[in-house]
Amino acid sequence: MPFLELTLPCTEAQQPRYERALENVGALAVTLADQHADAPDEQAIFEPGVGEQPLWNEMLLTALFEGGTSPELLLYALDAADEGLDWSRASFRDVEDQDWERAWMDQYEPLRFGRRTWIVPWNHDLPEGADAADAAVVRLDPGLAFGSGTHPTTALCLQWLDELADQGALAGQRVLDFGCGSGILALAALKLGAAQAIGVDNDPQALTATDDNAQRNGVADRLVAYSPETEPVDTYPVVVANILASALVALADTLLARVAPGGRIAMSGILAGQEDEVMARYRADFDDLRAERMEDWMRVTGVRRR
């Protein structure tokens, strides 16, 4: 069926409010793209997961609505949803039914993390190396939830999981993926030998994407995704939290309660320069705190005191 497409330029600071307003009036999907990219469609990322932030200061926000939606009535509803936002620069066009996700996935190539972890889209054959007997291959279709391995924060966490597997510290363990997005980290942990994974995210689309990806990867019996309200509180020997630095600080008590004594944690979504605040918040309860950098992003890891 055809759709009505709304496109609006906005800043990084404005983006969360615009996105919430669009979702509140029934947007079927929301994507973000670099406003200054030569080919912005090829730079699009799907909705960020819990605590994840966009990659650009100025961006194009695009939303899809059901075909036949009146632009005038939609603007009226958006004004009512958040009176403090300016919708005057919004533009509209009718678009034919096309597979947005497939258009994006066509731009996505298989990626390798560490020694044997591979993220391979469904529309690609296994590349050389990913067909090795010990390769941990995640077949990913991220849908509407961000998390493909292309962002440095995700890449840093995937590399950490791969390192844990090489150390023998992941085999047979239970893993918590806090802010799971597409479920990519939980899926990788299972493929690397973890026995069970729990995903937590406050975005219903992320939970749906995680469940769908678990089914397609044949691990639905070992991966369960919960909202924060329904999550069964437990402790885990391995916890990964790919969320913003501010969220890591604010949720420190929540995460501390979920890492078992002697357990390991990896935290990312941290901009370079923010790692000291995060490490200071966790130093009282974790040993061997370390920060690793990739581009402008950091990963902080540590071991829970017994």
Q: Please tell me the number of Cα atoms within 13 Å of 208 on its side-chain side.
A: 6
3-state secondary structure 20-33: HHHHHCCCCEEEEE
Residue pair 223/210 in contact (Cβ under 8 Å)? The answer is yes
Tell whether 24 is in a known binding site.
no
**Parallel/antiparallel/unpaired status of strands 259-271 and 236-242:** parallel
Residue pair 37/108 in contact (Cβ under 8 Å)? The answer is no
Beta-ladder partners of 34: 59
Tell whether 7 is in a known binding site.
no
Tell whether 154 is in a known binding site.
yes
CA angle 219, 150, 58 (to 5 degrees): 130
**Parallel/antiparallel/unpaired status of strands 29-34 and 223-226:** unpaired
- Report which of 251, 248, 284, 268 is spatially closest to residue 113, judged by C-alpha positions: 268
Beta-ladder partners of 178: 200, 241
Tell whether 235 is in a known binding site.
no
- Specify binding-site residues: 154, 179, 201, 242
Which residue positions form the known binding site for S-adenosyl-L-methionine? 154, 179, 201, 242
